Structure 1
Amino acid sequence: MTSQKPARAAIVGCGDISSIHVDALQRLEIPVVGVCDTVPERAEQVARTLEVPAFTDHTELLARTGPDVVHVCTPHAEHLPVALDVLDGGAHLLVEKPLAATLAQAEELLAAAEAAGDRGVRTGVVLQNRYNPPNQRLHELVRTGALGEVIAAKADVNWHRTPDYYRARPWRGTWAGAGGGVMMNQAIHTLDLLLWLLGPAEEVRGHAGTYALAEVIEVEDTAEFVISHAGGARSTLFATNAYPLNA
């Protein structure tokens, strides 16, 4: 009887969210073979923690370390080129949310992921709230019909983000870098839960605008939507990162 060796991981993008990935990989005892960031100091800092090589070019990382799985933690607009190279090289892919910064980028990545899937290469997106025990339980109750027919749901996402949050990482507040504001960075998890629980959207009506943070960002800080789901349920979602505090 042989034991399966753990997958060898690499991390591309050593910004704030990468620390969560580092912690998870260490707790799972998954070896990390290298890290990459276009800012050398960031890559070197994470590399010192893990005692692995640091790179500033993800193609060099892939060529020299040959990871089995790559965690893509870059700014949103950089997901696509890195992900395509990862899939082309045959490594499994775990990309941070959102999948991409634009619909066109997301569709291109999905097509590449489906083609890679035919070769046994897996792609995942970090939407971890599905795995929270209360959400798992709620999904089971909805799936089995224990709650009866669910016809409506309401979700509020109230976050507080200061101007300094955006000044620290200017790409977060731009359409080109982030692809959106509160919906792409904060409320995406709640939106994912609504779709997971009630089914895919058939019609969406809503509004998004920038109210409290217009001096520092060009993307939306507040949005509200009405979603008609396949199967007949409807949901409303209100999201803002201009709330007085995180709630």
Structure 2
Amino acid sequence: MAKIQSFAKSKLKVNELLAFCQAVYNQILTANADMTKFQPQLDKFKEAIADFDASSMKISKSLWTDAMKSTNKVRNQIRSSAFSLIRGYNAEPDGDNKRAAVFLMPMVDRYVGIYNHSFDDQTGYYYNLIETSRSDEFKTYVEQLKLDALFTKLQTANNECAHCSSNRSVESGKRNMPLRTSVSRKNLIVAYDNLVFRLNSLAEANGDSDFIILFSWWNEEIDKFRVTFSNRYGKGKGGKTAGGDMSKHDPKTGLPYERPGIL
């Protein structure tokens, strides 16, 4: 009867176990088998793979770090441009633009050192700056110098910064929450063994016809690991390869005189 052979999964390295289990899951999805009969075990296996993947993933740098640097640079450049224009008008000898700039200089002086603060603090200060530019105290002068569009661009850039920071926090949470690798590895092996037991039981009770191709591929992969173990740990440490013996169809499996319909 075709069945999935057992092997020492404890000998697998982290990347080997993860890649093998992911390959098994994907192979099952393409198999010609009624998955409803082992869906609970398959779901647990999928969940265990995800947990093991998360716990073994070591990221030295946040994926959002570069995006945060880029967006922060943009908002600082926009602020600098707006403040430079105000200072330029303030340097004029007279005129309406000079007058508007004079009234805007207190706002410039208040927020000139924003870039010295932390990323998230800058987001808060920029929000206050944008709101200040739209207040009754300064709005008329901002519009007179045609800076309202520039402050709208600043708001867009600041929102992007807030978005990047939020995503980094979510990412950081996911990186800190995973189980320890030793725990998630144990859970994955248990889920794997439960799935194998269920599939072997189904093949024995209902016939192995639907599982021949899947089991054949599965056993070939395990045989490869047996060879790897023997090369890595010493001759015979991987155990005896099945050589296809455990992937042969047994026409007697699943017949009425065996155990009809129990699974």
Same fold judged by TM-score > 0.5? no
Q: Which is strand-richer, 1 or 2?
A: 1
Q: Which is helix-richer, 1 or 2?
A: 2
Structure 1 or 2, whichever has the larger Rg, is 2
TM-score of the superposition, structure 1-length normalised?
Answer: 0.19
TM-score of the superposition, structure 2-length normalised?
Answer: 0.19
